[in-house]
Chains A and B, each alone.
Chain A
Amino acid sequence: MRAATGTQIFYSIRPCTFVYLTLVVLSLVTWLTGQLGLSGLSISLIVLGLALIKGLLIGDYYMGLRGLTGVWRWAIIVWLVIPGALITWAFIKVQ
């Protein structure tokens, strides 16, 4: 019996598992940012960007909004963009 190659293993992983692993990695990066004591506008905005990407992945792949047509497709995206923009503006204002 032949052992599965890396490519075979890669293609046997479910898309939702890829999304899960991506969420874990992005959360790890966020946590490490805090552990390393990194701060400032650029770092904050990168961390916020990672959070918005994670939210988008949850909305698209877990909540099943990907592939929808009409206004519901944009529900989570709009929710992420509006507070995201306000938070960005507030952090820029501090500088």
Chain B
Amino acid sequence: MNLSRPDNERTSKDAQYLQAATHDRIYPPGDLAIWVFILAELLVFAVFFSAYALTRANNAELFNTCQLTLDANAAFINTLALISSSYFVMRAVAAIREAKTQQCIQWLIAALAMGCVFLIIKSGEYVHHYQAGINLRTNLFYMFYLSLTFFHFMHVIMGMVILTAVTIKTRQGHYSAAEHTGVETGASYWHMVDIIWLILFPLVYIMR
């Protein structure tokens, strides 16, 4: 096997760890059980997204009109919050792989803080809709919008519970450079929450 690398290949530590973690591996990082769970969750959201788009096809005017009542600015800030939290979780995984436990904890706390930002902003949106008298029965668009975003909202809460547990266990010294499956497992779930929002945001708030 030729192990030589091109001169311009990046050799930063996280890239090395990423390569070491994935090179010639069949299974993704973390516990395989969480990946089965992730695929099941992704399948549910795929059905939701497809149902939204297909229903919209027969009610385009209603969907386009109602979409304008949504706060795309709040959704954009939430997108930045989730993207940032995913980045922080990625850095937490890189830190524990380098046996930097304290850094790992700090990155995880930063990710949790971004999760809190998301929950606060999204809750504000729900309060606004509630005050405007909007609910699941208002019309087809709001039925999909509220169902989809609240289902995702619950996943964010679940992800934050997992990340909190991972942070506590990291603090207690359960993870090391050699054994950190728990951190990778929590990270994988959190990235799933992020990836779902990255499709949900343009689909519900922007595309018309």
A29 vs chain B, min Cβ distance (A): 10
Interface segment, one of B98-106, B146-154, B166-174, B197-205: B197-205
Cβ–Cβ contact A31 & B76, under 8 A: yes
Chain B contact residues: helix, strand, loop or mixed: helix
B192 vs chain A, min Cβ distance (A): 8
Cβ–Cβ contact A47 & B79, under 8 A: no
In this assembly, does A9 line the interface, its C-beta being within 8 Å of a C-beta of chain B?
A: no
Cβ–Cβ contact B206 & A58, under 8 A: no
| Contact partners of B46 in chain A: CB under 8 A | 79, 82-83
Residues A55 and B199 in contact in the complex (CB < 8 Å), given A44-B207, A64-B28? yes
In this assembly, does B108 line the interface, its C-beta being within 8 Å of a C-beta of chain A?
A: no
> Given the complex of chains A and B, what is the CA–CA distance between A28 and B153 in angstroms?
22
Cβ–Cβ contact B57 & A93, under 8 A: yes
The 9 listed contacts between A and B (C-beta, < 8 Å) are A16-B18, A20-B84, A23-B87, A31-B72, A34-B205, A59-B191, A65-B28, A67-B19, A87-B49
Rank and list the top 6 A-B pairs by shortest CB-CB distance, nearest first: A90-B53, A67-B22, A31-B76, A44-B207, A20-B87, A86-B50
